[in-house]
């Protein structure tokens, strides 16, 4: 009887910390919005590209031309929510930025639920929320009309769905519902940014490591999610609108793999802690070690040239851009 009551008691103790953790992110989000000069700034970073198709839908209405054949490198799952919400709350730049703030705040909810599935509760949820705000780009780009707020939210939700479906120590397995919901969320995320493909590979590998050939529903879910992207691919003749095709390419460059491995370090190093030092199976440490060796090997045989530049012309005006961008590239260059 007492054992059965423990989970409910723990949940009651955790709920106030869960709410406090969300409140912390709300305070950070609106603190940045009201306490900085962001509301007085014009387009920052890629906002001039991201907002263009959103403005078209808001001002000209929904049509095949504005909602399907828009010119951007990101997908409809980014453009449509901003356009739909913007039509309600206002379509000016700062109103659209408010939508990003909402997605930034919403993103911590699945992160906190993931933390609970991993056995964290109480004040540690507050620390998880603080780390969420401190992730590179997260809070800053959460103030701008960029793809990161929606993609981070969707990515965290996708991981949560996978953990819920795959089951484990903290949750029972959902063999049917898990892969189905995962396929739906992954499909939406693929229509936001093609980078979501990486999650498909990760899910398949983890599911296979856990269940071997019984993991086939997860493989099928990833396949179906990928196929859902084909109609637009066929219509555009590539992953994005033809005017932006020069900014996307297929294939694998080893130096690009080296850079993305390095760029992921700030985002993943905190989550490696349980696998290295927690009460976990020895295989976890083996996988972490193998990943580190692979990354080191890539760095030795294919170091990226951070001075490499490419010419792009997304709005008809050509300009040069650095091939490798981001926190790691900026830090190393400085």
260-308 tens-digit pLDDT? 888 877 777 777 776 677 666 677 778 888 888 988 898 899 888 888 8
Comparing 81-85, 255-259, 262-266, which segment has the lowest mean pLDDT? 262-266
| Average predicted confidence (pLDDT) for the chain | 84
| pLDDT band per the 50, 70, 90 thresholds, residue 102 | very high
When pLDDT is averaged across residues 307-329 and rounded to a whole number, the result is: 71
- Of 130 and 47, more confident: 130
Statement: residue 5 has pLDDT above 60: no
Q: Other CB atoms closer than 10 Å to residue 144's CB: what's the count?
A: 24
Asked whether the predicted pLDDT for residue 6 surpasses 60, the reply is no
Query: Exposed, middle or buried by CB within 10 Å (0-12, 13-18, 19+), for 285?
Result: middle
How much of the chain, in percent, has pLDDT values that exceed 90?
Answer: 34
Q: Which residues contact 27 (CB under 8 A, 6 or more apart)?
A: none
Three-state DSSP class for residue 303? coil
Q: Are 197 and 233 in contact (CB under 8 A)?
A: no
Would the pLDDT of 4 be above 60?
Answer: no
- What is the pLDDT at residue 200? 92
Residue 154 scores a pLDDT above 50: yes
Phi-psi region of 326 (alpha: psi -120 to 50; beta: other; left: phi over 0): left
pLDDT of residue 171: 67
Q: What is the mean pLDDT of residues 235-242?
A: 77
Residue 20 confidence class, pLDDT cut points 50, 70, 90: very high
- Least confidently predicted of 13-22, 83-92, 145-154, 240-249: 240-249
Q: Is the pLDDT at 189 greater than 50, yes or no?
A: yes
Q: Is the pLDDT of residue 148 over 80?
A: yes
pTM for the model stands at 0.79
Give how far Cα 334 sits from Cα of 110, 185, 318, 328, Å: 35, 38, 26, 10
Task: Place 247 in a pLDDT band, splitting at 50, 70 and 90.
Answer: low
Q: Could you give the CA distance from residue 103 to residue 148 in angstroms, rounded to a whole number?
A: 9
- Residue 311's H or E segment, with its range, is strand 309-312
Report the C-alpha gap between 189 and 26 in whole angstroms: 24
Has residue 239 got a pLDDT over 80? Answer: no
Q: What pLDDT score was predicted for residue 316?
A: 61
Lowest mean pLDDT, pick from 46-50, 108-112, 133-137, 239-243 = 239-243
Segment 68-80 mean pLDDT: 84
What is the pLDDT confidence band of residue 127, given thresholds at 50, 70 and 90? very high
* DSSP result, 32-58: HHHHSSGGG----TTHHHHHHHHHHHH
Higher pLDDT, 308 or 79: 79
């Amino acid at each position: 009887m007492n054992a059965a009551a423990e989970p409910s008691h723990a949940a009651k103790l955790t709920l106030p910390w869960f709410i406090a953790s969300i409140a912390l992110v709300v305070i950070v989000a609106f603190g940045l919005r009201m306490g900085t000069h962001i509301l007085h700034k014009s387009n920052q970073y890629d906002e001039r590209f991201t907002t263009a198709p959103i403005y078209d839908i808001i001002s000209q209405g929904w049509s095949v031309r504005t909602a399907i054949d828009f010119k951007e490198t990101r997908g409809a799952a980014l453009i449509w929510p901003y356009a739909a919400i913007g039509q309600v709350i206002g379509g000016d730049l700062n109103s659209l930025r408010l939508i990003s703030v909402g997605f930034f705040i919403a993103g911590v909810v699945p992160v906190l639920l993931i933390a609970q599935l991993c056995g964290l509760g109480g004040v540690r949820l507050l620390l998880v929320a603080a780390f969420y705000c401190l992730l590179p780009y997260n809070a800053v780009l959460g103030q701008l009309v960029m793809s990161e707020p929606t993609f981070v939210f969707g990515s965290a939700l996708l991981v949560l769905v996978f953990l819920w479906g795959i089951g484990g120590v903290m949750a029972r397995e959902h063999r049917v519902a898990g892969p189905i919901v995962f396929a739906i969320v992954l499909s939406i995320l693929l229509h936001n940014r093609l980078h979501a493909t990486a999650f498909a590979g990760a899910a398949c590998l983890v599911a296979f490591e856990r269940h071997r050939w019984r993991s086939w529903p997860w493989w099928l879910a990833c396949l179906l999610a990928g196929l859902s992207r084909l109609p637009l691919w066929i219509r555009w003749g590539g992953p994005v609108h033809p005017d932006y095709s020069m900014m996307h390419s297929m294939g694998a460059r080893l130096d690009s793999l080296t850079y993305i491995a390095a760029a992921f370090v700030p985002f993943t190093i905190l989550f490696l802690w349980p696998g290295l030092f927690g009460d976990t199976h020895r295989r976890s440490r083996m996988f972490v070690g193998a990943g580190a060796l692979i990354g080191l090997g890539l760095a030795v045989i294919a170091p990226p040239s951070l001075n490499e530049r490419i010419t792009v012309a997304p709005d008809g005006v050509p300009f040069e851009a650095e091939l490798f961008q981001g926190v790691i590239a900026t830090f190393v260059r400085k």
